[in-house]
Chain A
Amino acid sequence: MACIKESRPTGNTIVIGLESSPTNLDPRYATDANSYRLAQLLYNTLIELDSRFHPVPNIIKRFANPNDTTYVFHLKEGIQFHDGKELTSKDVKYTFDCILNPAFKSPHFGAFEKIDSIVILDKYTVKFILKEPFAPFLINLAVIGIVPKDDMQKSEDSFNITPVGTGPFKLAEFLHDERIVLNANADYFDGRPKLERIIFKIIPDSTVRLLELNQGNVHLLQNDIPPDLFPFLEKKDSLKIVKRPGTTYSYIGFNLKDAILKDKRVREAIAYAIDRKAIIRYILKGLATPASGILSPYNWAYEENVNVFEYNKEKARNLLDQAGLIDTDGNGPQMRFELTFKTSTDQLRKRIAEIIQQQLKEVGIKISIKSYEWGTFYSDIKSGNFQLYTLSWVGITDPDVLYYIFHSSSIPPQGANRGRYINKRVNMLIEEGRITLDMNRRKNIYSEIQKILALDIPYVSLWYSTNVAVMNKSIHGYVVYPAGDFFSLKDVWIEND
């Protein structure tokens, strides 16, 4: 391919390609991944998470936990909003009051409903009192950037157009579906970012994103790159590729109310019949690691010693025979039974579905794939209208997410226990886990839950996706985070060799 002059990032500006536009940069509203990732650059939170997802201070000097339901935060002094005003405890109170105010329609309401009251102790000290002990509270705080009180009240509706935060970058321009321009915040409390400007360019088509990267009009792409294109990218001298295992967990969900699938032997057989390693090798080009459960090895609560199902067609066939689902004609065209496998319309997912279809055919299970547009797909799995489906969990941090996924009171519409999994022991442990503040005891509780889940197999664990960033060689200091955050942009610099 003949190439026109390749442009490198100039003037300390880098351009990053995004697949979809963030919808709302207001941290009180932001829910989609890109909104959240950009809000991280514009705002600061009370708490941030370390590499094992332990809560650690961000804009606070320290916090205290005098009893099970009280948290006191001591803010750092002199942190300024982009408009020059200082961040104080009244801004913190205001931010969370907004979220708790039903009139505000914040989607984060549920995460903080355990808050009973927020008290300003002095200019830099604020106290949160909870209604009852709630272990995930601190981790939940890591999502909410603090917004300034005064500005907000004036312009509540137009806030998401001109967000004002304390983060390393300020918003300069937000053209929905076109681009978002961020300028460096020279007064950032943790040191001025080395970059002058970041432009996020919205390019929905993956081929086009790569062409733009190839041309040098875009300098960095993270994830959403078809794995088959890596050999092409690796050959480019102007680019470098950074990989790091991630936390995004892909799985196949079972409907446990289904007449066939409620038999554990059938679920085990399916787990044995799927050759995850082959899929990872040939389709994902090694950009995933086999998973054993929802919590990734990064997580402090991750339990290593759980039951895993290594690919074994014989075991699968035997289990199906034991379950009384005999393949009458051996390797012939007759199948033992048929299942419907629902997936979204994503190309990669559809291809993986086709491989799983083939692999299950070899043990005598006929799969018919139904790919639905996202809204319909989501609605179907929520209402339990499925036998098998495949999906991912993104951004899992606190293990209390298990309450939402496997507690029997979380059957939709209450939560995401879509397969209708019910286990009394698991229920009890999950409830205990969320009110236990002692880290060691909490870890033991979640270890036991993970072991039980691996035996009960409400899900077939597939893999954790590896995060990949492809960037221009002149970009230095970019760190790929497990959840795909862009936070390291504040430390990135450009240096042509």
Chain B
Amino acid sequence: MFQNRLAVFGACIIGTLIFVAIFASYIAPFDPCEQSLEGGLTPPSKQHLLGQDGLGRDNLSRIIYGSRISIFVGISVIGISLLLGTLIGCIAGYNPGWIDELFMRIVDILLAFPGILLAIAMTAVLGPSLNNIVLALCITGWVGYARIVRGQILTVKEREYVVAARALGANPVRIITHHILPNILSPLIVEATFGIASVILAEASLSFLGLGTQPPTPSWGSMLNEGRQFLLVAPHMTTFPGLAIMIVVLGFNFLGDGLRDSLDVRKD
């Protein structure tokens, strides 16, 4: 019961965020790009509830608009990675032999490869843009899911019910979708909920290296990174985007927990 209420709560947070992201232009009290240089780094006030950034822009409005970027990056990267990773993980896990070897070697190569170099390469070749950030994060994003799916399939495949289904001549796609996937969903969901959070953070880390969203577009990650150098004089610049990130992560996790429980097929 409690768990489901948390899930509802999580869903509410995410719902609110999506609402905020869609209607940002109606909710935000100011234009997120409107500068007033005299007001640089002013702490929270009545007019600017969350203070102003280095260029005197309204932090609250920037956080409201920033939800668009974070949610877009988080969901699209994880969505694509999850699909791709599950597909490849299934193919590899279910086809021992050279197919498995091939995919796992590709996975190894990508995992063994510093993601940062890829991100730099992508933005260098394709130019810095939101879509290229998503692309760069997807290239390495799927491998984690592929490995988990494969690892799980190796375990589940030997279980009695799968062995039985195979003995009965069920085709592999059916076995995977009906018997295996439902059984490996929970670790995937746990991983994906954290994944969305870590993608939002990864976007922020790209900002740390200067490869995030292009100014003046606000994203929580870039706001956090920009605020970092003012930690000693204007802590509000990091606190609020940091909290925004935390709340979103919390929401996704509550939801993930709830889903995990309701999807758990073996919970009798």
Residues of chain A at the chain B interface (Cβ within 8 Å): 206-207, 210-211, 226, 228-229, 231-232, 278-279, 281-283, 344-347, 350-351, 353-355, 357-358, 368-373, 375-376
Taken together as a complex, chains A and B put the C-alpha atoms of A282 and B52 apart, in Å, by 14
The answer to whether B209 touches A282, judged by C-beta atoms less than 8 angstroms apart, is: no
- Does A371 lie within 8 Å of B128, measured CB to CB? yes
Query: 3 closest A-B pairs (Cβ-Cβ)?
Result: A345-B210, A282-B37, A376-B124
Contacts of A353 in B (CB 8 A): 215
Contact A373 B210 (CB under 8 A): yes
List the B side residues contacting A282 at CB < 8 Å.
37-38, 40
Contact with B233, one of A231, A350, A358, A372 (Cβ below 8 angstroms): A231
From B16-24, B77-85, B223-231, the one touching the partner chain is B223-231
Known A-B contacts A354-B35, A372-B128; the reply to A347 vs B229 at CB < 8 A is yes
- Number of residue pairs A-B, CB distance < 8 angstroms: 83
Q: Is the CB of A207 within 8 A of B232?
A: yes
- 12 cross-chain CB contacts under 8 A: A207-B231, A211-B232, A228-B41, A229-B233, A232-B232, A282-B37, A283-B54, A350-B215, A369-B214, A369-B216, A373-B209, A373-B211
Please state if B211 and A370 are interface contacts (CB–CB under 8 Å).
Answer: no
Partner of A357, one of B54, B216, B232, B233: B216
Q: Tell me the smallest distance from the CB of A216 to a CB of chain B, in Å.
A: 16
**Option from A283, A358, A370 in Cβ contact (under 8 Å) with B127:** A370
When the two chains form their complex, are residues A373 and B54 in contact, meaning their CB atoms are under 8 A apart?
A: no
Residue numbers in A under 8 Å from B185 (CB-CB) = none
In B77-115, the 8 Å CB interface with A consists of none
Q: List 5 additional A-B contacts (Cβ < 8 Å) besides A282-B38, A370-B128.
A: A228-B234, A283-B40, A368-B214, A372-B123, A373-B209
- B55 at interface (Cβ–Cβ under 8 A)? yes
| B232 A371 Cβ-Cβ under 8 A | no
Is B33 an interface residue, CB under 8 A from the partner? Answer: yes
Complex CA–CA separation, A350 to B35 (angstroms): 14
Considering the complex, give the chain B residue whose CB is closest to the CB of A282.
Answer: B37
User: In the complex, which residues of chain B have a beta carbon less than 8 angstroms from the beta carbon of A281?
Assistant: 37
Smallest CB gap from A352: residue in B: B55
Chain B window 196-223, contacts with chain A (Cβ cutoff 8 Å), 1 for yes, 0 for no: 0000000000000111001110000000
The interface size of chain B toward A, counting residues with CB under 8 Å, comes to 28
B contacts with A: majority SS: loop
Q: With A282-B38, A355-B37, A370-B128 given, is the CB distance from A228 to B210 under 8 Å?
A: no
Contacts of B38 in A (CB 8 A): 282
When chains A and B are docked, how far (Å) is the Cα of A282 from the Cα of B53?
A: 12
B120, CB-defined interface residue at 8 Å: yes
Residues of B close to A344: CB separation below 8 A: 210
CB neighbors of A among B226-268 (8 A): 226, 228-234
Task: Check A278/B37 contact, CB under 8 A, given A351-B55, A371-B128, A373-B124.
Answer: yes
Closest A residue to B33 using CB positions: A358
CA distance A289 to B166 in the complex (A): 79
B124 to chain A, nearest CB (A): 4
Contact assessment for A373 and B55 in the assembled complex, using a CB-CB cutoff below 8 Å? no
Chain A residue nearest to B213 (CB atoms) is A371
| A372 in contact with B124 given A210-B232, A229-B232, A345-B211 (CB within 8 Å) | yes
Tell me the minimal C-beta distance from A278 to chain B in angstroms. Answer: 6
Query: CA–CA, A229 to B211, complex, Å?
Result: 24
Supposing A228-B233, A278-B37, A347-B229 touch, asked if A355 and B55 sit within 8 A by C-beta, the answer is: yes
Contacts of A226 in B (CB 8 A): 229-230
Q: How many whole Å from A287's CB to the nearest CB in chain B?
A: 14
- In the bound complex, residues from chain B placing their C-beta under 8 Å from that of A355 are 35, 37, 55
Residue of A with least CB distance to B38: A282
Q: For the complex, what is the distance from the CA of A232 to the CA of B229, rounded to whole Å?
A: 12
Query: Which of B54, B55, B214, B231 has a CB less than 8 Å from the CB of A371?
Result: B214
Instruction: For the complex formed, measure the closest distance between the CB of B241 and the CB atoms of chain A, giving whole angstroms.
Output: 15
Min CB distance, A286 to chain B, in Å?
Answer: 13
Shortest beta-carbon distance from A399 to chain B in Å: 34
CA A347 to CA B212, docked complex, whole Å: 12
| B128 and A354 contact, CB distance less than 8 A | no
**Which residues of chain B (23-60) have a CB below 8 Å from chain A?**
33, 35, 37-38, 40-41, 54-55
A contact residues around B37 at 8 Å (CB) = 278-279, 281-283, 355
Is the beta-carbon distance between A354 and B55 smaller than 8 angstroms? yes
A345: B residues at CB distance < 8 A:
209-211
Bound-complex Cα distance A358 to B231 (A) = 26
B residues within 8 A CB of A232? Answer: 232-233
- Check B230–A369 contact: CB distance below 8 A: no
In whole angstroms, how far apart are the Cα atoms of A283 and B38 in the complex? 9
A372 / chain B contacts, CB cutoff of 8 Å: 123-124, 128
Q: Are B215 and A375 in contact (CB under 8 A)?
A: no
B121 CB to nearest A CB, Å: 10
Hey, which chain B residues are within 8 Å of A351, CB to CB? 54-55, 215, 226
- Which chain A residues lie closer than 8 Å to B124 at the CB level? 372-373, 375-376
Residue in chain A with minimal CB distance to B56: A282
- In the complex, A282 Cα to B57 Cα: how many Å? 13
- A347 lies within 8 A of B128 (CB): no
User: CA–CA, A226 to B210, complex, Å?
Assistant: 16
Closest to A278 in B: B37
Residues of B within 8 A of A228 (CB): 40-41, 54, 229-230, 233-234
Bound Cα distance from A282 to B225, whole angstroms: 20
Q: Across the interface, do B229 and A373 meet the contact criterion of CB distance under 8 Å?
A: no
- Using known A-B contacts A207-B231, A228-B230, A358-B35, determine if residue A370 contacts B214 with beta carbons closer than 8 Å: yes
Taking the closest CB of chain B, its distance from the CB of A3, in whole angstroms, is 13
* Complex Cα gap A375–B211 (Å): 13
Please measure, in the bound complex, the distance between the C-alpha atom of A308 and the C-alpha atom of B30, giving whole angstroms.
36
Among residues of A, the one whose C-beta sits closest to the C-beta of B34 is: A358
Determine the chain B residues whose CB is within 8 A of the CB of A354 once the complex forms. Answer: 35, 55, 215-216
Contacts of B225 in A (CB 8 A): 347
A358 to B37, CA, bound (A): 11
Q: How far is the CB of A325 from chain B (nearest CB, A)?
A: 23
How close is B53's CB to chain A, nearest CB, in angstroms? 9
User: Which residues on A sit within 8 Å (CB–CB) of B41?
Assistant: 228
Docked pose: A229 CA to B227 CA in angstroms: 12
The CA-CA distance from A226 to B127 in the complex, in Å, is: 27
Cα distance A229–B228 when bound, in Å?
A: 12
Interchain CA distance A344-B211 in the complex, whole Å:
10
* Bound: A344/B215 CA distance, A: 12
Residues of A within 8 A of B128 (CB): 370-372
User: Which residue on B lies nearest to A214, using beta carbons?
Assistant: B232
